[in-house]
Structure 1
Amino acid sequence: MRIENSFIPVEGVGETTERRLWRSGVTTWGDFEPGVDVSGVGTATADRIGSFIAEALERLDDGDAAYFDRAFPSQERWRLYENFRSKTCFFDIETTGLDEHRDRVTTVSFHRDGETTTLVAGEDLTAEAVAAQFRDASLLATFNGARFDVPFLETSLDIEVDTPHLDLMYPAKRIGLSGGLKPIEKQLGIERDRPDISGRDAVRLWREYERGDADALDTLVSYNREDAENLRALADVVCASLHEDVFVDEPAER
């Protein structure tokens, strides 16, 4: 689904009214006309829809993902993905534990446009380097990042992550994919080059690296990179599935 299919940012337009618009043939902003005869869309609502479309077209032309992030209900943020896919930064972190106030970030991998970059603590993992990775991104994508990755980065590196953020864990649940990232990958047939490694293994590998085992760092980085890269495949599947579940592209029979 593209942003241009959506009307729910408009005050007075919920999911039910949006589906009525779609079923009446108004499936994109370009289909909308002020006098459209749709149940639940009175003159005032139609005026608000027209005003929204006028501003939204300009914002979309400017690539202003933050505007749409504010406009859409949080549970519908997945609708931004198709428009901003090429400027989405998929990222994942590894840490020494689960407490962002006590533990440290050890590696962070970023995947965008087919390229993956990994920053390592003690080498090149700095607040400036992370900010540089996010700077040109219109959308961030993680799995459970709203509760873990983002707060950990903000606390550990004393930064503010304010780029629009799609946490794939929540839309995945909407299509029946629950549990951790690895079980979901297996359900979807998303393969990994390395054997499965747990979060506990990631902590162990970092400790071994600190004791001088360079191979342990190689394994940890490879694991972290696959986490970030596989988020792209997960986002494609989840957003395509939600499109099929939500969007009505055929007018109802009269």
Structure 2
Amino acid sequence: MRIENSFIPVRGVGARTERNLWKAGVTHWDEFDPRHVGAKTGDRIESYIAEAQTHLDDGDAHFFDESFPSKERWRLYENFREETCFFDIETTGLSPNRDKVTTVSFYQDGETTTLVRGDTLTADALREQFADATLISTFNGARFDVPFLETSFDLSIDLPHIDLMYPCKTLDLSGGLKQIEKDVGIERDRPDISGRDAVRLWHEYERGDDASLETLISYNREDTVNLQRLMETVTEQLHHRAWSDVLSDS
């Protein structure tokens, strides 16, 4: 599903109207004909397409983040795949006011980077990682990872964000990231490590066990890379769900 297949950001166009347009063969902005809808709605769609095309040409994901309904923002991924930054953090606890970020891993366009507390993990290094991103993606990061980083490093992470926990819920996939990975068939190379294990590994590293840090980094990196695999799976399933009525009539 690409942004250009979507009419749902337009005021007065809901899921039903969008499906009716698709069924009528209007599956792309270039195919829109106002005769398929009322005059006012047609004018709004044509105005939106003209404005949206300019923003899309400029690579402006913010425009679409603001115009799409929150449940449909997963549609941005196909257009901004290479500029999507997946990231995951490990911490010593749940409170950004008391606890510390220990590692942060990033995965973008096939490259993985991990920043480590006391070494490479700084506010400037975080800003550099986000600088090339047009879209960010996490699992439960809207409530945890993003505010934790913003509080801990005095950052403002003002980027369009697909928190995969919510599209997963749309597909009735519940539980934590590891459980959802199992449910959709994503396998891990390492044995499962819990958040409590991640805290333990960090404290072992602080006491001089470098192997524990290596294990923690490997765990954090696998979490991050798997976010991309989950995104591909989830957006594909949501695409098929959105087009199910159209496909059944074809």
User: How high is the TM-score relative to the length of structure 1?
Assistant: 0.95
Tell me the alpha carbon deviations over residues 214-236 of structure 1, each in whole angstroms, 9 at most, x when there is no partner. 11100000000000000011000
User: How much has 1:96 moved relative to structure 2?
Assistant: 0.3
Alignment correspondent of 2:161: 165
Tell me the alpha carbon deviations over residues 106-164 of structure 1, each in whole angstroms, 9 at most, x when there is no partner. 10000011110000011011111111111111110100101110010011111011111
Alignment correspondent of 1:137: 133
1:21 aligned partner, one-letter code: L
Instruction: Report matched runs for 1:1-254 at 5 Å.
Output: 1-34=1-34, 36-37=35-36, 41-247=37-243, 249-250=246-247
- Please tell me the root mean square deviation across aligned C-alpha atoms, in Å: 1.3
User: How much has 1:250 moved relative to structure 2?
Assistant: 4.8
Partner Cα separation in structure 2 for residue 239 and residue 246 of structure 1? 10
Tell me the alpha carbon deviations over residues 152-209 of structure 1, each in whole angstroms, 9 at most, x when there is no partner. 0011111011111000011011112110000111122212221110000000001111
Partner Cα separation in structure 2 for residue 52 and residue 154 of structure 1? 34
Number of residues of Structure 1 aligned to a counterpart in Structure 2 = 249
Partner Cα separation in structure 2 for residue 233 and residue 252 of structure 1? 30
Contact 2:23 2:246 in 1 (8 A): yes
Partner Cα separation in structure 1 for residue 175 and residue 24 of structure 2? 38
Partner Cα separation in structure 2 for residue 252 and residue 112 of structure 1? 38
Q: Which runs of 4+ in 1 moved over 3 A?
A: 248-253
1:124 aligned partner, one-letter code: T
Tell me the alpha carbon deviations over residues 21-50 of structure 1, each in whole angstroms, 9 at most, x when there is no partner. 11111111011023x23xxx3111110100
Contact 1:25 1:251 in 2 (8 A): no
Partner Cα separation in structure 2 for residue 121 and residue 93 of structure 1? 11
Gaps of 5+ in 2: none
User: Secondary structure, in 3 states, of the residue corresponding to 1:83?
Assistant: coil
1:230 aligned partner, one-letter code: N
Contact 2:10 2:48 in 1 (8 A): yes
Partner Cα separation in structure 1 for residue 249 and residue 211 of structure 2? 60
Gaps of 5+ in 1: none
1:208 aligned partner, one-letter code: E
Partner Cα separation in structure 2 for residue 68 and residue 117 of structure 1? 28
Contact 1:27 1:249 in 2 (8 A): no
User: Secondary structure, in 3 states, of the residue corresponding to 2:51?
Assistant: helix
Partner Cα separation in structure 2 for residue 209 and residue 133 of structure 1? 25
User: Secondary structure, in 3 states, of the residue corresponding to 2:140?
Assistant: coil
Partner Cα separation in structure 1 for residue 164 and residue 147 of structure 2? 16
Partner Cα separation in structure 1 for residue 185 and residue 234 of structure 2? 13
Partner Cα separation in structure 1 for residue 72 and residue 122 of structure 2? 32
User: Secondary structure, in 3 states, of the residue corresponding to 1:10?
Assistant: coil
User: How high is the TM-score relative to the length of structure 2?
Assistant: 0.97
User: Secondary structure, in 3 states, of the residue corresponding to 2:112?
Assistant: strand
Contact 1:24 1:251 in 2 (8 A): no
Larger RCO (alpha carbons 8 Å, 6+ apart): 1
Partner Cα separation in structure 1 for residue 246 and residue 214 of structure 2? 48
Partner Cα separation in structure 1 for residue 51 and residue 181 of structure 2? 39
1:30 aligned partner, one-letter code: D
User: Secondary structure, in 3 states, of the residue corresponding to 1:82?
Assistant: coil
Closer/same/farther in 2, CA of residues 250 and 184 from structure 1, 3 Å limit: closer
